[in-house]
């Protein structure tokens, strides 16, 4: 395996997410893969890659963490402790997991997009409610509520 210098994280992203271009026809521009319906945005921390999924034509604030999509579909969190591994390992790990979901993003996003957002909204609503901070939740998530209401999801 060819290892890249950590000082060149974009090359790591391009290497491990190349399947999006080769197999699914996405275009790549600076940590962002775009298809006709979906944008996959890779944001890198010191050792952690964050993957966001955005639906083309929807407001930017509706991009959603890939981890939350996994929680919705599989009712589980990712089983990795990112600080224990290198950035390259973590990018490869996330790319490998993403491979199994890309057909869902490309072919079925219209079927689950609002359901995932409603699930996430209800998930956080319950957490805030349990901690006695429902007013904070209603204020913080007003945009999300208005979005879901405008789509008939709430």
pLDDT, one tens digit per residue, over 64-95 is: 999 899 989 988 776 666 667 788 988 999 99
Name residues whose C-beta falls within 8 Å of residue 105's C-beta, 6 or more positions apart in sequence. 35, 37, 38, 40, 53
What's the pLDDT band for 1 if we cut at 50, 70, 90? Answer: very low
Cβ proximity of 31 and 42 under 8 Å = yes
Name residues whose C-beta falls within 8 Å of residue 138's C-beta, 6 or more positions apart in sequence. 145
Closest CA to 151 of 106, 107, 108, 121: 121
The string of pLDDT tens digits covering residues 16-66 is 999 999 999 999 999 999 999 999 999 987 777 889 999 999 999 999 999
CA distances from 126 to 53, 60, 81, 110, 130 (A): 23, 24, 26, 26, 6
Torsion over CA: 73, 121, 30, 39 (sign): positive
Tell which wins on pLDDT, 136 or 19.
Answer: 19
Query: 64 burial class (0-12, 13-18, 19+ CB within 10 angstroms)?
Result: buried
């Amino acid at each position: 395996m060819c290892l890249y210098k950590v000082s060149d994280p974009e090359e790591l992203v391009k290497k491990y997410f190349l399947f999006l271009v080769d197999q699914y026809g996405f275009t790549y521009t600076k940590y962002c893969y775009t298809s006709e319906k979906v944008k996959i945005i890779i944001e890198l921390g010191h050792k952690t890659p964050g993957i966001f999924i955005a639906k083309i034509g929807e407001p930017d604030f509706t991009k959603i963490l890939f981890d939350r999509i996994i929680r919705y579909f599989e009712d589980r969190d990712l089983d990795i402790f990112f600080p224990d591994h290198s950035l390259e390992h973590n990018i490869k790990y996330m790319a490998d997991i993403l491979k199994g979901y890309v057909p869902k993003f490309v072919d079925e996003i219209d079927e689950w997009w609002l359901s995932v957002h409603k699930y996430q909204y209800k998930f956080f609503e319950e957490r805030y409610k349990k901690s006695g901070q429902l007013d904070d939740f209603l204020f913080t998530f007003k945009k999300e509520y208005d979005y879901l209401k405008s789509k008939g999801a709430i």
